[in-house]
Structure 1
């Protein structure tokens, strides 16, 4: 990972403080006014220490995910980064979901596409049924009448978290065969989250046991 520094513009009328790659001279000019800047701090991110390093050593539940017809490259890139961070065992990419074979995906996955195991399936319902036959617990993240709170979900192992299309949601065929439907409680006016945000919450909740 590239080292970053924080710079501050010396123009008193601007004063912008911003991060920039330490090895890129183009970052020395203020992106707001073009003025001279100075380095005021070095970014601390990137080192795997403390809780992050310990997390990899924990005996976490084995959780995979099935992505049902998610169209956005941005969302799929986010899934890959979350899967890597949460320690998911496999991503099953289905239907129109972009795969790491798409060179544009690397711009959003930021290298996670090379670290996460994945498989492509043309039919998400068939893929879910096959995984269920193999003993996997199908957990659909969808707001349905019978859904239970994600945070009341019992500890699961050998489970497959399913998320669906940004607008249509999860295929009804998967909802019919799912062993469990879970939803994220919403306290505000809006009743749903972006699918990548919801996936991140659920992935960490399930892998935490």
Structure 2
């Protein structure tokens, strides 16, 4: 791994925000899903959630520009599953929804642990998502259209969250689990060895402070040995 590559991955890990997430409520258009994930990566969101009860989610690699390698998508069959996970992490739950109690999305304190529910292209947030929210938010609009594309709406909200968190000094300090960071450093810094480990069922080694593999002679011997054919 080059020093530049190693530094870039570490910078990404240092800026990830594990207590800020999105929940896509039955969003089904792959180009929108991929665009949301791409923006999530850009603002340092560690993972997104998706309510997807019927079909397997597929992300367009071209639209996501590889960001799905860095942002994990957690699938749920029902909103209750996602809500339970958000509550367990002490998150405030927001939902984009036109209601009497909705507030301008910029009035929210995003420095708090936060989950943001965004609805699908046709129906918006589901009744279950609306009920799960602590607060409804809206993006003020003074034109003729009444709503934005979900990927555009999510980008506006995510960048407001980033603005607030940056001002509060919440970036540049690593808050991710070290085991996860080691996996990412190895997989993305040494992809050929990582692929070989998966193929040969060899445990991942550690990566040192310079980005180099730390492994004993037995590990290297297993790595060099030809893969045995499966009978």
- TM-score calculated relative to the size of structure 2: 0.60
Question: Residue 115 in 1 paired to residue 70 in 2?
Answer: yes
Task: List per-residue Cα deviations over 1:143-184 (Å, max 9, x = no partner).
Answer: 222100012223432101110111111111121121111100
Structure 2 partner of 1:34:
none
Matches within 5 A, 1:72-91: 72-91=29-48
Partner Cα separation in structure 2 for residue 149 and residue 65 of structure 1: 18
How many angstroms does 1:194 deviate by? 0.7
Specify which structure has the bigger relative contact order, considering alpha-carbon pairs within 8 angstroms and separated by 6 or more residues: 2
| Cα 1:114/1:172, change in 2 over 3 Å | same
Structure 2 partner of 1:126:
81
Structure 1 partner of 2:227:
none
Structure 1 partner of 2:22:
65
Partner Cα separation in structure 2 for residue 59 and residue 130 of structure 1: 19
Give the length in aligned residue pairs. 153
Matches within 5 A, 1:5-16: none
| Cα 1:137/1:97, change in 2 over 3 Å | farther
Structure 1 partner of 2:127:
172
Match of 1:151 among 106, 113, 134: 106
Structure in which a larger fraction of residues adopt helix: 2
Partner Cα separation in structure 1 for residue 29 and residue 56 of structure 2: 8
Task: List per-residue Cα deviations over 1:66-87 (Å, max 9, x = no partner).
Answer: 1110010110010110000011
Question: Residue 190 in 1 paired to residue 140 in 2?
Answer: no
Are the equivalent residues in 1 in contact too, given 2:18–2:47 (CA < 8 A)?
no
Question: Residue 136 in 1 paired to residue 91 in 2?
Answer: yes
| Cα 1:157/1:69, change in 2 over 3 Å | same
The CA RMSD measured in Å over matched residues stands at: 2.4
SS class of match (2:60) = helix
Structure 1 partner of 2:158:
203
How many angstroms does 1:98 deviate by? 5.6
| Cα 1:97/1:59, change in 2 over 3 Å | same
